[in-house]
Chain A
Amino acid sequence: MNFKHKYIFLFPGLFVLIGILIFPIIFVVRLSLSGWNSYNGLNFIGLENYIRLFTDDPRFWESFFRLSFLSVTTVVLQYVIGFALAHMVWKEIKFQRFFRVLFLIPMMTTPVIMTVIWRTFFHESLGPVNDILGNFGFSPKWLTDPTLAKFTVIIVEVWQWTPFMFLLLLAGLLSLPKEPFLAAAIDGASPVRKFIYVTFPLMAPISIGAIIIRLIEASKIMDTVYVLTSGGPGTSTETSSFYIFIKGLREFQMGYAASMSFTYLIIMIISLTVIAKVLTKLLLKD
């Protein structure tokens, strides 16, 4: 029988894939080889943008390392807190359902709106946080001290996205087989030993998946920085995506922004692949 006609059924999916994924990537590559900006068209300029990026733009690399710091820190914190919360409501406790819903609420809110609310909280002259801390003689510069501003971004990110980690890890915990836990109980393992030798290893594959998914998301951090600090004070909270946004949509250096985006995409693919491999090697020894 000739099944060649079966390929016709692939066309709709292929067409969508080309339209929404392949074409934009090819267009970005083409754009990155042009000087498209407010005064030039899509003129071909070869690798000029890439040469500029690698030889004359320390700000891009600074923002990349800042992003690495912010995303790794936030994801680690989200993992630790998310795991703790998931572990807490995994067991039969009072108001279990209530807590499960409560812990998910931050994730269900709109990030930009919540960041505006956080910005109001941390407002140094009008916000309630400093109003309360002021009673104890503290007035931290949440948004205007270069170091503390990074910490503030981390707080908001952790608050917003820990529920996502919680959800994935809770789903993982609920799907774990019961037998290893029964065996550990018969052996008289303490809760800590049970966690270290049973729960954590069994959760490793899910943990790797959750961490990688969150790392991908955290590496795109933009809205929190945009609303909270605009990358400031100075450039102290500027991340790669925010910097690309500034160059592309504020300064309208579309060609250069495309070269940064493409470079960033390549770096992210490589680094996330390496991270996934390392995590797998560390956590899935057997």
Chain B
Amino acid sequence: MKIIKTCLSAMISGILIFSPAYADKWSDQFPHIKATGDIPGDCSYEEISKKNYKGKTLKINTHAVPVIGQPTALHAEQFAKLTGATVDVTHTPAGDLYAKAMVPFKAGQAPYDIVFGFSNFINDWRQYLAPVPKKYMNTKEMKDVTKSHVGVSSWDGTMYQYPVDGDRHYLKYRKDVIDNPEMQKKYKADTGKELKVPTTWKEYGEMAKYFNGWDWDGDGELEYGSAEVMKKDDLMFAAFFSRSVAYAKNPRTPGGFFFDLETMKPNVNNPGFVEALTDWVEATKYVPPGGINFGLGDEIGSFGGGQTLFSFSWDDAFIAAMQDDSPIKNKVGTAPLPGADKVWNRVTGKWENQYNQAPYIVWGWAVGVAKKSKVQEMAFDYLCFFSNGANHQADLAIGNFGVNPFKNSDFDPNLYIDTMGWDKEIAESYTKTLKDMEKSKNRVFPLRVRGVFEFTSAVATGTSKALAGQLSPQEALDEVAKEWEAIVKRVGKSAVQEDYAVGVKMEDNKL
């Protein structure tokens, strides 16, 4: 098996490296893929051009431009040109994607053939989505998708969301500062501690605080410690969970990170989560001015623009920092999310004083085909084309496209060195960071129970109250836990339990 895997990855790498050989015919017409040309596959430009969808219309609801909206529109235009189809693309703000599909779904309508959303919508949407047909499951592109992203796109073994993006939270740092011997000496002299890539959130906080509010890169501007997504309702709950996993995901206590699966009692106000929120409240002191109102776009702009030492969230800020026009290209590094020197054991009700780290395979962009769509085959062809080898590689290189690695072949550092001009060391550390998350046995997956937004919204409200100083971390999380209990009661304990069990199976490495 291992030999097959090695051969497969060597073949894929070979295709990626030597793919410019195909660059003639299709890249002339479609400059987006000029770096690689068409890459052979079931949904390559060559294959899709053989389809004829003249007279048919495909309707897509996607996110606003640029993030995911731009690649959707671009690939729609390419698809229309290749197949003769008419493709109507509607752009919708992130916060409205769920309702825009859900309202017609609930009313028994399908105004869109393809709906984009987040992967954690899966449980609410799956009854209205067509499962991905076997034909597409067997494509070369699909076989390349990582196991964890097949899991994220599927519900109990059935894939409802077509993988187009892979997301995880990890640490991004300014390599030119952390690896700088002069800075290391200065930091040691001032604090008595080593300046290195932080492996715990406490170290992260200490370094961020030290590098906050002075011009440490000599560009004449003040720099700050950390850029984080802290704006209420703007994905902040994901940032909070990223900080919580270190303290609250204990590999020795399987059976639920968010809830105790047996009792469905929320874990969200246990000392592990409270410790994480306490750290986060402390972080408000080392974010740029206005940082507690930073949404994802601000975080990308802040770290990507060289304003902060650290950041953690999706790939976008890192890719933005590594784009050709970035002032800090090849000056940034990646590492796993920091861990903690202690982890809460919810079974014994005690802290375990040992190092713990847990990757957060956070939700990302996801897309499905409406069950009631009359052009399902064309819709799946479009999605298969969207994520074909050439499009995927070209999309990966553009930070604000929002397309991040989710294929095994994406973990080849040469891809980033050859086509994006990254330094070898950075490309290797990036792919290693991502690959290690795939291998970890202590991962946390996003909450995907029905009515998921009620849960995440409660987290956003509670944690934002703590960040604003309206409540203490314990009070804020007690409020969240109380709200979660009320939601579980409203939805029905057994229903939430049944949904949550699917996610726990993934976390406990049983799926």
Contact = CB atoms under 8 A, between A and B. Distances in A.
A143 B233 contact: no
Interface in A41-76: 41, 56, 59
A38 to B, nearest CB: 4
A56 to B, nearest CB: 7
B289 A141 contact: yes
B453 A56 contact: no
B464 interface: yes
A252 B464 contact: no
B215 interface: no
B436 interface: no
A253 B457 CA distance: 12
Contacts of A249: 95-96, 99
A232 B290 CA distance: 12
Given A146-B470, A230-B232, A232-B232, A246 B457 contact: yes
Contacts of A253: 454
Given A39-B450, A146-B468, A230-B231, A252 B290 contact: no
Interface in B233-253: 233-234
B232 A231 contact: yes
Interface stretch (A77-85, A96-104, A196-204, A233-241): A233-241
B465 A139 contact: no
Contacts of A41: 106
Contact of A250 (B95, B289, B467): B95
User: Which of under 10, 10 to 19, 20 to 34, or 35 or more describes the interface residues of B?
Assistant: 35 or more
A33 B304 CA distance: 49
B292 A231 contact: no
Given A130-B289, A144-B290, A234 B450 contact: no
A252 B470 contact: no
Contacts of B457: 246, 250-251
Interface string A11-50: 0000000000000000000000001111101000000000
B450 A38 contact: yes
Say whether chain B's binding surface is mostly helix, strand, loop, or mixed.
Answer: helix
A233 B289 contact: no
User: Which of under 10, 10 to 19, 20 to 34, or 35 or more describes the interface residues of A?
Assistant: 20 to 34
B180 to A, nearest CB: 24
Nearest to A36: B106
Interface in A203-248: 229-236, 246
Interface in B425-462: 450-451, 453-454, 457, 461
Interface string A146-179: 1000000000000000000000000000000000
B30 to A, nearest CB: 34
A235 B486 CA distance: 20
B183 interface: no
Contacts of A271: none
B453 A38 contact: yes
A231 B233 contact: yes
A50 to B, nearest CB: 15
Nearest to B499: A39
B495 interface: yes
A38 B448 CA distance: 13
Contacts of A229: 293
Contacts of B98: 250, 252
Given A232-B231, A233-B468, A235-B465, A144 B95 contact: no
A159 B466 CA distance: 31
A125 B469 contact: no
A38 B124 contact: yes
Contact of B124 (A39, A59, A126): A39
B102 interface: yes
B313 interface: no
A131 B234 CA distance: 26
B468 A141 contact: no
A87 interface: no
Contacts of B102: 38, 252
B491 interface: yes
B356 interface: no
A234 B231 contact: no
Contacts of A144: 290-293, 468
A234 B454 contact: no
B233 A230 contact: yes
B480 to A, nearest CB: 13
B486 A56 contact: yes
Contacts of B166: none
B500 to A, nearest CB: 14
A37 B293 contact: no
A123 interface: yes
A125 B453 contact: no
Contacts of B267: none
* Residue among A38, A141, A230, A252 with most chain B CB within 10 A: A38
B163 interface: no
B307 interface: yes
A37 B454 CA distance: 10
A236 B461 CA distance: 11
Contacts of B486: 56
B488 to A, nearest CB: 12
A249 B97 CA distance: 10
* Residue among A41, A59, A143, A232 with most chain B CB within 10 A: A232
B290 A124 contact: yes
Contacts of A125: 224, 288-291, 302, 307
6 contacts: A230-B234, A232-B233, A232-B464, A233-B293, A250-B98, A252-B98
The 4 A-B residue pairs with the shortest CB-CB distance, nearest first, are A124-B290, A234-B468, A233-B468, A124-B289
Given A38-B450, A250-B98, 10 more contacts: A124-B288, A127-B290, A143-B293, A230-B231, A230-B234, A232-B232, A234-B468, A249-B99, A250-B99, A250-B453
